[in-house]
Amino acid sequence: MGVYDQVRAIACPDDIKVRTAWYTSLGKDAADESGDDSQSLDGREIWSRYAWGGGPVAAEYEKHSPARYEIVPQIRLEPLLAKRAKELNPDGLRYGAEMTDLEERDGCVNLKVLDRKTGATEEVLAQYVIAADGGRTTTDKLGIKWLGERDILDMVTVHLRAPIRARHPDPRNFMTWFTHPDAGGSIKTGFLYQVGPWPLDNPEDNSKEEWVFAFAPAADDPIRSNQDAIVERIRSTLKLRDLPIEVISVSHWNVNALSAERYRKGRVFLAGDAAHKIPPWGALGMNTGIQDVQNLTWKIELALQDEKKFDSLLESYDTERRPVGRRVGESSLQNMRSHTLVMDWALGMSPENSAEQNRESIRPYFDKTHPDHEKKRRAVEQASKLLDLEFKAPGAEVGWFYHGLGQATEEDHEPYLLDDGSLNTEVAIPSTVPGHNLPHVWVHKPGQGEQPLRDLLPLDRFLLIVDDDPGWDLMESELVEIVRVTTAEVSDGWSEPTQEWERLLGENEAVLVRPDGIIAWRGSWQDSLPQLWPIILERALYIGNDEIVRE
């Protein structure tokens, strides 16, 4: 979309977005303030760490993408995307329009659209529909079942304005988790994160600071419907009793780990939360939804030209994306359950204990003279390592892949899996095995400078990345664009002098890459290739290969 620089301009600053920490609180209760500071359990940092591609793993993340890990709240990102969408298609975006019903008939989908402002309803006919309504109604209207765990946790999220940075012991932390002995550990506290607005033009001006505080109240807790009680909960957790808080909004939502039984019904395709409801621990929900439409849109574009020819290609959307959505949901749920109590366990705190018992359990952690101090420190360090699944997971972020493409075998995928067959989320290994994402390398061309290889991908056709063998020119067509990448500078191609790209391929090998950046085929030049090429393309487009896309 060409908006990365604009996103960077409003994103969380680099020195903040890569840190997270656990605290007992930010301030101290009056009773605690009057005591010996060395014995105080309020306002103590338990652990802090780098996360989301920062610190010592920054170089590792830079190998996977020309872009950095950015954190932008939806309230800031959506207006930016809407502006760009209107520039690309001035009449293609409508607000205040609600799809109230849909029905497939006569080779199209009939949608009833309610204008929320006027109350008028109109009918809209569409050849295909991408249902991305956040999982509110369309999935159920289509009679598609949800699989997984529902209503796991009831959450309250408070968007607020408050001068917290100046009172945070370390405001570099983007996200702060709280666990306090008097609250039984983490159960009755919550977590806090920054939402800008950025850039921080004047860090001394705290009147505009916005934060989100989230917590999970018990089902019978009256705090759920009492805004004054919610504000008191925030002040109590932070131990900042005099903190002025302006509540911007309060949201109630349920944690679900659900996946639609199928992502397609006829001419309607589910995407985003309409296809999968993913717990936010790991921050992969929106990313997974974006991957959905990236997989789908180029397929629909081809199907608009020839429905019958490319129907199996459309069917592959479900087969490729559904396992990914299900896996991300399951791993995010695991993150949530690990995160909720792992620090409490390490510190020996529990909601079943009395406040005094919890205080006695956590005190050795802060007391370097206590005989159990080192044992507690090692336990917390190990707990932080367990949380790598949430805070350092390039394998989950960019290392995912689709099985069964380009005749790749399970043996080809083994280096990217754990012993139990699950995806190795802690590392992402660049690969040109079909089904994997095109690896990131920088390429150069005289007069055009340096570009990421992925930026050369066309949006409406395949890209065949080849060496300097002239025979590859025979493969070019309306569906296939050719680009040359070699280690030496050539006048009509791109150079990659580090040889990183060359190391990812065999001798004289080329890769065929789909518009969504997925490698569809890898192979070497041979004299018979021109005769085999139509078959290779048909397989890449799932033409005549129904058995490949059925589970």
pLDDT at residue 36, as a whole number: 58
Tokens encoding 106: 């006569």
The domain made up of 405-548 is a member of CATH 3.30.70.260:
no
Q: Report which of 289, 291, 281 is spatially closest to residue 330, judged by C-alpha positions.
A: 281
**How far apart (Å, rounded) are the C-alpha atoms in residues 221 and 512?**
57
Mean pLDDT of 525-539: 94
CA atoms within 13 A on the CB side of 112: 8
Q: How many CB atoms lie within 10 A of CB 344?
A: 21
Q: Report which of 277, 254, 287, 257 is spatially closest to residue 139, judged by C-alpha positions.
A: 277
pLDDT at residue 192, as a whole number: 97
81: buried, middle or exposed (CB in 10 Å: 19+, 13-18, 0-12)?
middle
Q: Where are the alpha helices (DSSP H) in 213-310?
A: 227-238, 285-305
**How far apart (Å, rounded) are the C-alpha atoms in residues 284 and 327?**
11
**How far apart (Å, rounded) are the C-alpha atoms in residues 504 and 405?**
18
The string of DSSP codes covering 235-250 is HHHHT-TT---EEEEE
Contact 466, 481 (CB under 8 A): no
Element (H, E) at 76: helix 74-88
Mean pLDDT of 185-212: 86
**How far apart (Å, rounded) are the C-alpha atoms in residues 406 and 92?**
36
Contact 127, 267 (CB under 8 A): yes
Tokens encoding 424: 């190795």
**How far apart (Å, rounded) are the C-alpha atoms in residues 471 and 485?**
15
CA 506 from chain center: how many Å? 32
Q: Where are the alpha helices (DSSP H) in 89-215?
A: 138-141
pLDDT at residue 406, as a whole number: 87
**How far apart (Å, rounded) are the C-alpha atoms in residues 111 and 99?**
7
Structural domain boundaries of the chain?
Answer: 405-548
Please, what is the average pLDDT of the chain? 92
116 beta partners: none
CA atoms within 13 A on the CB side of 414: 5
pLDDT at residue 551, as a whole number: 39
**How far apart (Å, rounded) are the C-alpha atoms in residues 48 and 194?**
16
pLDDT at residue 488, as a whole number: 82
Element (H, E) at 461: none
Distances (CA, A) of 380 to 193, 215, 277, 343: 22, 22, 31, 6
User: How confident is the model over 85-139, as pLDDT tens digits?
Assistant: 999 999 989 999 999 999 999 999 999 999 999 999 999 999 999 999 999 999 9
**How far apart (Å, rounded) are the C-alpha atoms in residues 471 and 530?**
9
Tokens encoding 455: 């930026």
Contact 231, 155 (CB under 8 A): no
Q: Which residues of 526-537 are buried (b: 16+ CB within 10 A; e: fewer)?
A: eeebeeebeebb
30-39, 190-199, 334-343: least confidently modelled range: 30-39
Write down the pTM of the prediction.
0.92
**97-105, strands of its sheet edge to edge:** 97-105, 108-115, 121-126
Distances (CA, A) of 528 to 471, 475, 533: 11, 12, 9
What percent of the chain is modeled with pLDDT above 90? 76
30: buried, middle or exposed (CB in 10 Å: 19+, 13-18, 0-12)?
exposed
Tokens encoding 545: 């290969």
Q: Report which of 435, 391, 149, 153 is spatially closest to residue 281, judged by C-alpha positions.
A: 391
Per DSSP, the three-state class of 69 is: coil
Tokens encoding 70: 């950015």
CA angle 169, 173, 174 (to 5 degrees): 135
Contact 190, 230 (CB under 8 A): no
pLDDT at residue 35, as a whole number: 55
User: How confident is the model over 362-390, as pLDDT tens digits?
Assistant: 999 999 999 999 999 999 999 999 888 88
Mean pLDDT of 521-550: 85
Distances (CA, A) of 25 to 182, 189, 209, 227, 488: 11, 9, 19, 21, 57
DSSP code, position 169: S
User: How confident is the model over 265-277, as pLDDT tens digits?
Assistant: 999 999 999 999 9
pLDDT at residue 549, as a whole number: 41
Per DSSP, the three-state class of 369 is: coil
Contact 281, 335 (CB under 8 A): yes
